[in-house]
Structure 1
Amino acid sequence: MNSKLNIVVRVDLDHGKAQVIAKGHITIHSVKALYVVAKRANSLKGGLDLELDVSSAWVDEEALDMLRTASETRHLPAMIDPDQAPCTIGVLADRRLPRKTAPGLAA
């Protein structure tokens, strides 16, 4: 798994939806980058439904908890959004386990 964080944003203003797709390794430090992107997407239109898709990323448990907390409170952390604008966040996560080495094949 690549540890570099790659973020893509898809926005559909007509339907009031935005999707932030992250790949790579999400840690408690790199999750802040996701928050900043989410804040920018949220500022495009009031009442935007925002989905954070981290299903193709390796997400540390603590970072996943942070994302879920933002989803439950409907606010981004105060250090990212001091105004605490309402933010409807859905987290799509499928925490993948690291690949195990396959045992050697017997002949």
Structure 2
Amino acid sequence: MHHKLTVLVQVDLDGRHVRLVVTGCLTEVNHRALSPLVRRARTLVPGIAVVVDATAALHVEASAVDMMRWSTEHEDAVPDTPPVEFVLPEELPAHDVVTRLAAWTGPRRHAERTGPAAQAALARRRAPARSRLAG
């Protein structure tokens, strides 16, 4: 399964707040891509408040959040910079791709229709296309 991480950086006009909105999947493997963004946001202006918002993420691993917290606590930040705030949903979301696909009904397929006309139309679609060069 592909775990893609997407981050939107929102900087307030006054330059006192930065919000990193995380969407996609935040996993133990890809959390390393988020760390430099947090570090960079903390060095923009002394005293800047950085918020990592993962409420819109599709999948969040608890171990990834723990690693992110640990790395932000142990890195050298600009003096007088407040700690990074993490905004998480009450329950960390997990992948539920199978249930989403099973719940999707989508448009009805022609094969589901019954009757001789529907069967003939389906057979015509499956027939190989004739070449214009073959007389």
| CA deviation profile, 1:1-59 (whole Å, cap 9, x unmatched) | x7221111011252611000111111122111111111111111011100001112211
Matched length: 95
Q: Specify every segment of 5 or more residues in structure 1 that has no aligned partner in the other structure, as ranges.
A: 77-83
Pick aligned residue for 1:85 from 71, 77, 88: 77
Q: Which has the higher strand share?
A: 1
- Asked if structure 2 preserves the Cα contact closer than 8 Å seen for 1:11 and 1:18, the reply is yes
One-letter code aligned to 1:66: M
2:21 aligned partner: 21
One-letter code aligned to 1:101: T
Cα RMSD of the aligned pairs, angstroms, is 2.6
The within-5 A match list for 1:1-107 is: 3-12=3-12, 14=14, 16-57=16-57, 58-70=59-71, 73=73, 75-76=74-75, 84-86=76-78, 87=81, 88-94=83-89, 95-99=92-96, 101=99
One-letter code aligned to 1:91: F
Q: Flag the structure with more relative contact order, 1 or 2, with Cα contacts below 8 A and sequence separation at least 6.
A: 1
1:67 aligns to what SS in structure 2? helix
One-letter code aligned to 2:35: Y
Q: Which has the higher helix share?
A: 2
Q: Specify every segment of 5 or more residues in structure 2 that has no aligned partner in the other structure, as ranges.
A: 104-135
One-letter code aligned to 1:65: D
Greater Rg by CA: 2
Partners of 2:32 and 2:99 in 1: CA distance: 32
